[in-house]
Structure 1
Amino acid sequence: MTFSIQPILQNDRAVLYPLKPDDFDALYEVASDEKVWEQHPNKDRWKKDVFETFFDGAMASKGAFKIIDGASGEVAGSTRFYDYNPEDNSIFIGYTFYGTRFWGTGLNLAVKRIMLDYIFQYVNAVYFHIGATNLRSQIAIVRLGAIKVGEQTVAYHGETPKLNFVYEIKKENWLNNE
C-alpha cells in the first residue's frame, strides 16, 4: 500500500483524526447511548466491556478515526478505512457511528465525502458493510450513490458474525457525480 489509511482529513463540517488509545473515554461517552446502536448489527456496544472490544478492533485496524464536529468541536463519533485489497484496488469504509445529536445534521455526508475524495486518489472502488437491519445507514449510503452488490456474514472483531449488505461506489461514478 503506497498511501495512508489514517491521515488527518478535514472540511468545513468535520475533522477526522487518527484514533489513539487515549481517545477511549471521549468516544465511549458518545457510544454509551443505547440509541446509537439500535439499528447496528451489534446492539450491545453501548456496554463498556463490549465497546472496549470494538475500540480494540478499531485500534488494531490502523485505519480508524475520531470524528470531530466542525461547528462545536465535540467528539461526534468514529469511522474507519479497512480491508484494503490490492488485487482489485479496493477498500472498505465502515464501523461508523455518531452520537444522536449529530443525526440528521449532514455530518455523515460531510465525513463520507472527505473520506471518498481522499481515498479515490488511490483506489478504484470503495465498499461498505451495512447491517441487514440498519435501514438508516442503508438509506444514507444509497444517497451517496452506493449500489448494493451483495450480502455477507461479517465477523466483527471479538463479536459474533452478523449479516451485512455490501454496497459499492466505483471511482468513475464518484468522480462523475461530484
Structure 2
Amino acid sequence: MRAKTLQNERAKLLPLESHHYRDLLPLSKEVDLYQYGSSDISTPKKLKGYMKEAFAKKEQGLALPFIIYDKKSNHFAGSTRFGNIDKHNKVVHIGWTWLGDDFRGSGLNHHIKYLMLSYAFEKLYYEKVEFRIDERNMRSRRAVEKIGGILEGILRKNIITKGDFRRSSACYGILKDEWPTIKATIFKDIK
C-alpha cells in the first residue's frame, strides 16, 4: 500500500508527515485516545511518540497513516490510519481515527470512511476491512454499524488502556462483496 491523497467534496486525507505535528497538536489536547485504546496523545511528547510509531509501522508496510483535512471548515481535523495491513490475505484495518471537538458529529467521519473503504476495495482490491473498537465505546461502535460494519465477535481483555484497565475489543468487518450495496445505499449521497 503506498501513500496517496484521498479526497472528495468534504474530506481530504493526506499522507501523514512529520511536519503535520504542528497541525495535530492543538487537536490532540481535545481527545483522550487512551480512554479506550492503547495510544496516548495527551502531551506533546506523547503525540510525537504516537506519530513516530505510525511512521515505523508505515516503514514496515503495516500501516498507512493520514492527517484529516475538513474542506468545509478549511482546517485540519484529526488523524486516521489503515493498519494491520495483511497483503497476503488481503485484509486491512481502518482505525486510529480521532477528530477534534469541532469535527465530531459533523458528518466528516462519514466522508472519511467512504474514502478509505472505496480505496481499500476498489483500488487495492482488499477482500475485507476490519475495525476493532473498545466494547465500551458505544459511540464508535454505532458509527461503524451505521456504515455497514457487522459485529463478528469480542476479543476479551486484549488491550491495556488508561489506568491499566484491560479492555475487550468489539471486532467488526465489511467484506468486498458487501461493499457495492453499502456504497449504493449508505454512501449514496457522497460525491
The normalised TM-score by structure 1 is: 0.86
1:85 aligns to what?
86
Structure 2 residue 170 is matched with structure 1 residue 165 = yes
**AA aligned opposite 1:27:** L
CA drift of 1:44 comes to 4.8
Q: Unaligned stretches of 5+ in structure 2?
A: 59-63, 185-191
Map 1:59-138 onto structure 2 (within 5 A): 59-62=55-58, 63-121=64-122, 122-138=125-141
Matching residue's letter, 1:75? F
- Alpha-carbon contact 1:150-1:165 (below 8 Å) kept: yes
Range moving further from structure 2, 147-156 or 91-100? 147-156
Q: What percentage of residue pairs aligned between the two structures are identical? A: 31
> How far did residue 13 of structure 1 move?
0.7
Deviations 1:14-36 (A, max 9, x none): 100000011112112111125x5
Give the drift of 1:133.
Answer: 2.1
**Which consecutive unaligned segments of at least 5 residues does structure 1 have?**
none
Q: Judge conservation of contact 1:18–1:65 (CA < 8 Å) in 2.
A: yes
- Look up the SS of the partner of 1:120 in the other structure: helix
Show CA shifts across 1:13-69 (max 9, x none).
Answer: 1100000011112112111125x5485324853222332222212222320000000
Structure 1 residues 171 and 162 mapped into 2: Cα distance closer, same or farther (>3 Å)?
Answer: same
Alpha-carbon distance in 2 for matches of 1:155, 1:56 = 20
Map of 1:45 onto structure 2 = 41
Query: For 2:77, what is the secondary structure of its paired residue?
Result: strand
- AA aligned to 2:52 is D
Q: Which amino acid aligns with 2:128?
A: A
Distance 2:160 2:91 in 1: 19
How many residues are paired up? Answer: 172
CA contact (8 A) 2:36 2:167 kept: no
Flag as ranges the 4+ runs of structure 1 deviating above 6 A: none
Corresponding residue for residue 188 of structure 2:
none
CA–CA separation in structure 2 for the residues paired with 1:56 and 1:160: 24
CA distance in 2, matches of 1:22, 1:29: 14
Paired residue secondary structure (1:169):
strand
Residue 45 of structure 1 aligns to which amino acid in structure 2? I
2:187 maps to none
Spell out, residue by residue over 1:66-85, the C-alpha distance to the aligned partner (whole angstroms, 9 max, x if none).
00001122110000111122
